[in-house]
């Protein structure tokens, strides 16, 4: 019977893949290395990469919006010029667990910097414009910054930063 338990424990621990209980350590596994000529994806230098992801305990808009005052001030700053109106779109609230200032919209075919304006309040937010084939979704942080109602489907103006 003793050998059966040892076998069961060994089998259970063999599937732990690096994090084993009781302070035991498994063999180090080498990370895959890029072969010559192979490229690796790089992280996007956008606002989403700067703001931390909300915790699993987040329940309110304030808890999901992890941007800080400095990031909000930077996103609210007026555009430097050279913008081009792409059009207007009705937006819904996007995934609140995705931090930062962004807008997924069919008005762009590639990721670029831009700005959204909510005409009702006159407020704007600099955002990362992301292509979408299924309608427009805006980040919680951007929606709060332009003071659009979170439960409505507001119409916003979308500008390309060029």
pLDDT in tens, 8-52: 455 454 454 444 444 444 344 344 444 455 444 444 444 444 567
pLDDT of residue 50: 59
Domains of the chain, by residue range, sit at 58-160
Q: How far apart are CA 129 and CA 113, in angstroms?
A: 6
SS3 14: helix
Higher local confidence (pLDDT), 8 or 119: 119
pLDDT of residue 42: 40
Higher local confidence (pLDDT), 162 or 90: 90
* 61 pLDDT higher than 90: no
Q: Which fold has domain 58-160?
A: Barwin-like endoglucanases (2.40.40)
**Whole-structure pTM value:** 0.61
- Using alpha carbons, list the distances in angstroms from residue 130 to 3, 13, 33, 136, 150: 58, 43, 30, 9, 20
Residue that is written with structure tokens 């959204």 in the block: 116
pLDDT of residue 22: 42
pLDDT in tens, 65-116: 767 778 777 777 776 677 899 999 999 999 998 999 999 999 999 999 999 9
pLDDT of residue 72: 75
């Amino acid at each position: 019977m003793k050998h059966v338990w040892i076998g069961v424990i060994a089998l259970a621990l063999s599937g732990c893949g690096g994090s084993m209980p009781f302070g035991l350590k498994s063999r180090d596994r080498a990370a895959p290395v890029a072969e010559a000529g192979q490229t690796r994806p790089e992280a996007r230098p956008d606002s989403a990469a700067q703001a931390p992801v909300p915790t699993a305990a987040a329940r309110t808009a304030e808890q999901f919006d992890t941007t800080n005052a400095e990031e909000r001030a930077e996103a609210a700053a007026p555009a430097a010029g050279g913008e081009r109106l792409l059009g207007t779109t009705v937006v819904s609230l996007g995934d609140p667990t995705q931090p930062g200032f962004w807008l997924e919209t069919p008005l762009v075919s590639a990721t670029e910097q831009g700005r959204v304006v909510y005409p009702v309040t006159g407020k704007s937010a600099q955002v990362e414009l992301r292509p979408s084939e299924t309608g427009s979704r805006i980040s919680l942080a951007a929606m709060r910054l332009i003071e659009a109602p979170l439960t409505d489907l507001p119409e916003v103006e979308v500008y390309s930063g060029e």
